[in-house]
Amino acid sequence: MKRIAVFTSGGDAPGMNAAIRAVVRTATYHGIEVYGIMRGYSGMIKGEFVRLDSASVSNTVQKGGTILKSARSMKFMTKEGRQQAFDQLVNNGIEGLVAIGGNGTFTGAMIFEEEFGIPTVGAPGTIDNDLYGTDYTIGYDTAVNTALECIDKIRDTADSHDRCFFVEVMGRDSGYIAIPCAIGGGAEIVMIPETQMSTDVVIDTLQSGWQRSKTSFIVIVAEGDEPGNATQVADRVKTAIPQLDTRVTIVGHIQRGGSPTAADRLLASQLGIAAVEGLMNGMRNVMAGIIDKKLVYTPFTDTINKKKLINQSFMRMVEILSV
Protein backbone atom coordinates (compact mmCIF):
# COMPACT_ATOMS: atom_id res chain seq x y z
CA MET A 1 0.00 0.00 0.00
CA LYS A 2 1.59 3.23 -1.21
CA ARG A 3 -1.09 5.88 -0.68
CA ILE A 4 -3.95 6.21 1.82
CA ALA A 5 -6.40 8.92 2.85
CA VAL A 6 -7.88 9.96 6.18
CA PHE A 7 -11.15 11.76 6.87
CA THR A 8 -13.42 12.77 9.74
CA SER A 9 -17.17 12.42 9.56
CA GLY A 10 -20.24 12.99 11.72
CA GLY A 11 -20.10 15.08 14.88
CA ASP A 12 -16.73 16.52 15.81
CA ALA A 13 -15.01 15.28 18.95
CA PRO A 14 -11.99 16.56 20.93
CA GLY A 15 -9.00 14.44 19.95
CA MET A 16 -9.86 14.03 16.28
CA ASN A 17 -6.87 16.18 15.36
CA ALA A 18 -4.61 14.05 17.52
CA ALA A 19 -5.89 11.00 15.61
CA ILE A 20 -5.29 12.69 12.24
CA ARG A 21 -1.78 13.59 13.36
CA ALA A 22 -1.11 9.99 14.39
CA VAL A 23 -2.38 8.67 11.05
CA VAL A 24 -0.21 11.08 9.07
CA ARG A 25 2.96 10.46 11.05
CA THR A 26 2.47 6.69 11.16
CA ALA A 27 2.00 6.58 7.39
CA THR A 28 5.07 8.80 6.93
CA TYR A 29 7.07 6.57 9.27
CA HIS A 30 6.21 3.56 7.11
CA GLY A 31 6.88 5.32 3.81
CA ILE A 32 3.23 5.67 2.81
CA GLU A 33 1.82 8.84 1.23
CA VAL A 34 -1.23 10.19 3.01
CA TYR A 35 -3.95 12.58 1.91
CA GLY A 36 -6.61 14.31 3.94
CA ILE A 37 -10.17 14.38 2.63
CA MET A 38 -11.93 17.60 3.54
CA ARG A 39 -15.51 17.45 4.88
CA GLY A 40 -15.88 13.68 5.04
CA TYR A 41 -17.88 11.83 2.42
CA SER A 42 -19.02 15.11 0.89
CA GLY A 43 -15.42 16.05 0.13
CA MET A 44 -14.69 12.54 -1.11
CA ILE A 45 -17.39 12.95 -3.76
CA LYS A 46 -16.08 16.39 -4.75
CA GLY A 47 -12.42 15.37 -4.76
CA GLU A 48 -11.37 17.72 -1.96
CA PHE A 49 -8.03 16.00 -1.24
CA VAL A 50 -5.00 17.65 0.36
CA ARG A 51 -1.53 16.12 0.65
CA LEU A 52 -0.48 15.81 4.28
CA ASP A 53 3.00 15.38 5.69
CA SER A 54 4.57 15.49 9.12
CA ALA A 55 4.88 19.28 9.13
CA SER A 56 1.25 19.83 8.12
CA VAL A 57 0.01 18.26 11.36
CA SER A 58 2.45 20.03 13.66
CA ASN A 59 0.84 21.91 16.57
CA THR A 60 -2.49 20.09 16.18
CA VAL A 61 -2.44 17.47 18.95
CA GLN A 62 -3.88 19.97 21.47
CA LYS A 63 -6.53 21.49 19.21
CA GLY A 64 -10.24 20.72 19.39
CA GLY A 65 -12.50 20.23 16.39
CA THR A 66 -11.09 18.74 13.21
CA ILE A 67 -8.66 20.36 10.77
CA LEU A 68 -10.22 18.24 8.01
CA LYS A 69 -13.68 19.55 8.91
CA SER A 70 -16.81 17.42 8.89
CA ALA A 71 -20.07 17.35 6.99
CA ARG A 72 -23.00 15.05 6.49
CA SER A 73 -23.56 13.84 2.92
CA MET A 74 -26.97 12.74 1.70
CA LYS A 75 -25.46 12.14 -1.72
CA PHE A 76 -23.10 9.47 -0.38
CA MET A 77 -26.17 7.52 0.72
CA THR A 78 -26.93 6.94 -2.97
CA LYS A 79 -25.16 4.48 -5.28
CA GLU A 80 -24.46 7.33 -7.69
CA GLY A 81 -22.76 9.37 -4.97
CA ARG A 82 -20.62 6.44 -3.87
CA GLN A 83 -19.61 5.81 -7.48
CA GLN A 84 -18.42 9.42 -7.75
CA ALA A 85 -16.47 9.04 -4.50
CA PHE A 86 -14.84 5.85 -5.79
CA ASP A 87 -13.87 7.53 -9.07
CA GLN A 88 -12.22 10.37 -7.12
CA LEU A 89 -10.23 7.90 -5.00
CA VAL A 90 -9.07 5.99 -8.07
CA ASN A 91 -8.10 9.19 -9.87
CA ASN A 92 -5.97 10.15 -6.87
CA GLY A 93 -4.42 6.71 -6.43
CA ILE A 94 -5.91 6.12 -2.96
CA GLU A 95 -5.63 2.47 -1.94
CA GLY A 96 -7.05 2.56 1.59
CA LEU A 97 -8.99 4.78 3.98
CA VAL A 98 -8.87 5.68 7.66
CA ALA A 99 -12.30 6.83 8.83
CA ILE A 100 -12.55 8.75 12.11
CA GLY A 101 -16.14 8.94 13.29
CA GLY A 102 -19.05 7.00 14.67
CA ASN A 103 -21.84 4.64 13.73
CA GLY A 104 -22.98 6.48 10.61
CA THR A 105 -19.42 6.92 9.38
CA PHE A 106 -18.70 3.20 9.67
CA THR A 107 -22.01 2.22 8.08
CA GLY A 108 -21.10 4.26 5.01
CA ALA A 109 -17.57 2.83 4.93
CA MET A 110 -18.86 -0.75 5.15
CA ILE A 111 -21.29 -0.32 2.25
CA PHE A 112 -18.62 1.48 0.23
CA GLU A 113 -16.11 -1.35 0.67
CA GLU A 114 -18.69 -4.00 -0.20
CA GLU A 115 -19.54 -2.18 -3.44
CA PHE A 116 -16.12 -0.98 -4.57
CA GLY A 117 -13.50 -2.85 -2.55
CA ILE A 118 -11.71 0.13 -1.00
CA PRO A 119 -10.48 -1.13 2.41
CA THR A 120 -11.28 1.03 5.43
CA VAL A 121 -10.14 0.87 9.04
CA GLY A 122 -12.01 3.06 11.50
CA ALA A 123 -11.02 4.98 14.61
CA PRO A 124 -13.94 5.68 16.98
CA GLY A 125 -14.41 9.45 17.21
CA THR A 126 -17.57 10.40 19.11
CA ILE A 127 -18.20 12.00 22.49
CA ASP A 128 -21.11 9.61 23.17
CA ASN A 129 -18.87 6.56 23.84
CA ASP A 130 -21.64 4.36 22.47
CA LEU A 131 -19.66 2.24 19.99
CA TYR A 132 -19.35 -1.48 20.59
CA GLY A 133 -15.74 -2.69 20.37
CA THR A 134 -13.93 -0.16 22.53
CA ASP A 135 -14.05 0.83 26.18
CA TYR A 136 -13.68 4.51 25.31
CA THR A 137 -14.11 6.61 22.19
CA ILE A 138 -12.05 9.63 21.15
CA GLY A 139 -13.57 12.76 22.69
CA TYR A 140 -15.55 11.09 25.46
CA ASP A 141 -13.22 11.91 28.35
CA THR A 142 -13.02 15.57 27.33
CA ALA A 143 -16.80 15.87 26.93
CA VAL A 144 -17.42 14.42 30.39
CA ASN A 145 -14.92 16.76 32.00
CA THR A 146 -16.38 19.76 30.17
CA ALA A 147 -19.91 18.90 31.30
CA LEU A 148 -18.74 18.18 34.84
CA GLU A 149 -17.06 21.58 35.09
CA CYS A 150 -20.41 23.18 34.16
CA ILE A 151 -22.28 21.06 36.70
CA ASP A 152 -19.87 22.07 39.47
CA LYS A 153 -20.69 25.72 38.78
CA ILE A 154 -24.41 25.00 38.63
CA ARG A 155 -24.18 23.19 41.98
CA ASP A 156 -22.86 26.39 43.57
CA THR A 157 -25.82 28.48 42.47
CA ALA A 158 -28.30 25.67 43.22
CA ASP A 159 -27.03 25.54 46.78
CA SER A 160 -26.97 29.32 47.16
CA HIS A 161 -30.61 29.74 46.06
CA ASP A 162 -32.15 26.44 47.27
CA ARG A 163 -33.01 25.42 43.72
CA CYS A 164 -33.44 22.24 41.71
CA PHE A 165 -31.50 22.30 38.46
CA PHE A 166 -32.26 19.99 35.57
CA VAL A 167 -29.05 19.74 33.57
CA GLU A 168 -29.25 18.30 30.07
CA VAL A 169 -26.09 16.70 28.68
CA MET A 170 -25.51 15.09 25.29
CA GLY A 171 -26.36 11.47 24.64
CA ARG A 172 -29.15 10.94 22.14
CA ASP A 173 -28.96 7.14 22.42
CA SER A 174 -26.66 6.64 25.38
CA GLY A 175 -26.20 7.65 29.00
CA TYR A 176 -22.43 7.29 28.97
CA ILE A 177 -21.90 11.04 29.46
CA ALA A 178 -24.77 11.47 31.93
CA ILE A 179 -23.74 8.76 34.39
CA PRO A 180 -20.19 9.90 35.25
CA CYS A 181 -21.48 13.48 35.37
CA ALA A 182 -24.13 12.42 37.89
CA ILE A 183 -21.66 10.52 40.07
CA GLY A 184 -18.85 13.07 39.82
CA GLY A 185 -21.21 16.04 40.11
CA GLY A 186 -23.11 14.77 43.13
CA ALA A 187 -26.47 14.61 41.36
CA GLU A 188 -29.54 13.21 43.09
CA ILE A 189 -30.99 11.66 39.93
CA VAL A 190 -29.79 10.66 36.47
CA MET A 191 -32.14 9.98 33.55
CA ILE A 192 -30.72 8.02 30.61
CA PRO A 193 -32.22 6.31 27.52
CA GLU A 194 -31.18 2.85 28.71
CA THR A 195 -33.35 2.87 31.84
CA GLN A 196 -36.33 5.00 30.77
CA MET A 197 -36.95 6.32 34.28
CA SER A 198 -40.46 7.75 34.56
CA THR A 199 -41.12 11.30 35.64
CA ASP A 200 -43.17 9.90 38.54
CA VAL A 201 -40.02 8.32 39.98
CA VAL A 202 -38.21 11.65 39.67
CA ILE A 203 -41.07 13.44 41.46
CA ASP A 204 -41.14 10.85 44.26
CA THR A 205 -37.37 11.08 44.75
CA LEU A 206 -37.38 14.88 44.89
CA GLN A 207 -40.36 14.96 47.28
CA SER A 208 -38.61 12.48 49.54
CA GLY A 209 -35.50 14.65 49.58
CA TRP A 210 -37.56 17.77 50.25
CA GLN A 211 -39.20 16.08 53.23
CA ARG A 212 -35.72 15.27 54.58
CA SER A 213 -34.97 19.01 54.48
CA LYS A 214 -32.85 18.87 51.34
CA THR A 215 -33.09 22.27 49.73
CA SER A 216 -31.07 21.94 46.51
CA PHE A 217 -30.99 19.22 43.86
CA ILE A 218 -29.23 18.36 40.62
CA VAL A 219 -30.98 16.13 38.07
CA ILE A 220 -28.89 15.03 35.09
CA VAL A 221 -30.89 14.29 31.93
CA ALA A 222 -29.42 12.70 28.81
CA GLU A 223 -30.89 14.48 25.79
CA GLY A 224 -32.35 11.24 24.40
CA ASP A 225 -34.13 10.11 27.55
CA GLU A 226 -37.55 8.60 26.88
CA PRO A 227 -39.75 10.87 29.10
CA GLY A 228 -38.44 13.94 27.29
CA ASN A 229 -35.72 16.54 27.43
CA ALA A 230 -34.74 18.46 30.56
CA THR A 231 -37.25 21.25 29.94
CA GLN A 232 -40.18 18.85 29.56
CA VAL A 233 -39.23 16.89 32.67
CA ALA A 234 -38.75 20.10 34.69
CA ASP A 235 -42.20 21.36 33.65
CA ARG A 236 -43.86 18.18 34.91
CA VAL A 237 -41.94 18.31 38.18
CA LYS A 238 -42.85 21.97 38.70
CA THR A 239 -46.54 21.13 38.30
CA ALA A 240 -46.29 18.28 40.81
CA ILE A 241 -44.07 20.11 43.33
CA PRO A 242 -44.88 23.83 42.98
CA GLN A 243 -42.86 24.76 46.08
CA LEU A 244 -39.67 23.57 44.35
CA ASP A 245 -37.78 26.37 42.59
CA THR A 246 -36.71 24.71 39.31
CA ARG A 247 -34.27 25.80 36.63
CA VAL A 248 -33.02 24.17 33.42
CA THR A 249 -29.52 24.30 31.98
CA ILE A 250 -28.65 22.73 28.63
CA VAL A 251 -24.90 22.18 28.42
CA GLY A 252 -25.13 21.72 24.65
CA HIS A 253 -22.40 21.81 22.06
CA ILE A 254 -19.64 23.09 24.32
CA GLN A 255 -19.23 19.38 25.16
CA ARG A 256 -17.89 18.83 21.64
CA GLY A 257 -15.33 21.59 21.66
CA GLY A 258 -12.17 22.52 23.47
CA SER A 259 -8.70 21.14 23.88
CA PRO A 260 -8.69 17.34 24.40
CA THR A 261 -7.65 15.91 27.75
CA ALA A 262 -4.45 13.90 28.13
CA ALA A 263 -6.53 10.70 28.06
CA ASP A 264 -8.12 11.63 24.72
CA ARG A 265 -4.80 12.63 23.19
CA LEU A 266 -3.28 9.31 24.20
CA LEU A 267 -6.26 7.27 22.99
CA ALA A 268 -6.43 9.14 19.67
CA SER A 269 -2.71 8.60 19.09
CA GLN A 270 -2.98 4.87 19.86
CA LEU A 271 -5.93 4.36 17.54
CA GLY A 272 -4.52 6.51 14.74
CA ILE A 273 -1.40 4.33 14.67
CA ALA A 274 -3.50 1.15 14.91
CA ALA A 275 -5.71 2.21 11.99
CA VAL A 276 -2.78 2.73 9.61
CA GLU A 277 -1.00 -0.45 10.65
CA GLY A 278 -4.28 -2.33 10.35
CA LEU A 279 -4.53 -1.25 6.71
CA MET A 280 -0.92 -2.29 6.16
CA ASN A 281 -1.74 -5.74 7.53
CA GLY A 282 -4.63 -6.23 5.11
CA MET A 283 -7.52 -5.42 7.43
CA ARG A 284 -10.74 -3.94 6.11
CA ASN A 285 -14.15 -3.03 7.46
CA VAL A 286 -12.92 -3.03 11.07
CA MET A 287 -12.68 -0.47 13.85
CA ALA A 288 -9.60 -0.16 16.04
CA GLY A 289 -10.41 0.05 19.74
CA ILE A 290 -9.05 -0.51 23.22
CA ILE A 291 -10.68 -3.12 25.48
CA ASP A 292 -9.18 -3.92 28.87
CA LYS A 293 -6.11 -1.88 27.85
CA LYS A 294 -5.51 -4.10 24.81
CA LEU A 295 -5.75 -3.15 21.13
CA VAL A 296 -8.58 -4.94 19.31
CA TYR A 297 -10.12 -4.75 15.84
CA THR A 298 -13.89 -5.15 15.71
CA PRO A 299 -15.81 -5.73 12.45
CA PHE A 300 -17.96 -2.80 11.41
CA THR A 301 -21.00 -5.10 11.42
CA ASP A 302 -20.55 -5.67 15.17
CA THR A 303 -19.71 -2.05 15.92
CA ILE A 304 -22.85 -0.92 14.11
CA ASN A 305 -25.31 -3.59 15.23
CA LYS A 306 -24.27 -4.67 18.72
CA LYS A 307 -25.32 -2.64 21.75
CA LYS A 308 -22.72 -1.36 24.18
CA LEU A 309 -24.29 -1.92 27.58
CA ILE A 310 -24.29 0.49 30.49
CA ASN A 311 -22.77 -0.76 33.73
CA GLN A 312 -25.89 -0.95 35.92
CA SER A 313 -23.82 -0.75 39.11
CA PHE A 314 -23.23 2.91 38.27
CA MET A 315 -26.97 3.59 38.51
CA ARG A 316 -26.94 2.03 41.98
CA MET A 317 -24.00 4.28 42.88
CA VAL A 318 -26.05 7.36 42.02
CA GLU A 319 -28.90 6.13 44.24
CA ILE A 320 -26.63 5.33 47.19
CA LEU A 321 -24.55 8.52 47.01
CA SER A 322 -27.59 10.80 46.71
CA VAL A 323 -29.01 9.87 50.12
Length of the chain: 323
Residue 150 has what pLDDT? 97
User: pLDDT per position in the chain (323 positions), as tens?
Assistant: 899 999 999 999 999 999 999 999 999 999 999 999 999 999 999 999 999 999 999 999 999 999 999 998 999 999 999 999 999 999 999 999 999 999 999 999 999 999 999 999 999 999 999 999 999 999 999 999 999 999 999 999 999 999 999 999 999 889 999 999 999 999 999 999 988 788 999 999 999 998 888 889 999 999 987 777 899 999 999 999 999 999 999 999 999 999 999 999 999 999 999 999 999 999 999 999 999 999 999 999 999 999 998 888 998 899 899 87
CATH homologous superfamily of 142-255 equals Phosphofructokinase domain (3.40.50.460)
Residue 264 has what pLDDT? 98
307: exposed, middle or buried (C-beta count within 10 Å: 0-12, 13-18, 19+)?
A: exposed
120-124/96-101 β-pairing? parallel
Name the pTM for this structure.
0.95
Residue 110 has what pLDDT? 97
The annotation places the binding site for substrate at: 126-128, 163, 170-172, 223, 247, 253-256
C-alpha distances in angstroms, 236 versus 213, 216, 228, 300? Answer: 22, 18, 10, 41
The annotation places the binding site for ADP at: 21-25, 155, 186-188, 212, 214-216
Residue 173 has what pLDDT? 87
Domain 3-139+260-305 and domain 142-255 have a common topology: yes
Q: Where are the domains of the chain?
A: 3-139+260-305, 142-255
Residues annotated as catalytic are: 128
- CATH number for 3-139+260-305: choose from 2.40.30.10, 3.40.50.450, 3.30.497.10, 3.40.50.300: 3.40.50.450
Residues 263, 98 contacting (CB under 8 angstroms): no
Residues 264, 15 contacting (CB under 8 angstroms): yes
Residues 172, 223 contacting (CB under 8 angstroms): yes
The annotation places the binding site at: 11, 21-25, 72-73, 102-105, 126-128, 155, 163, 170-172, 186-188, 212, 214-216, 223, 247, 253-256
3-state secondary structure of 284: coil
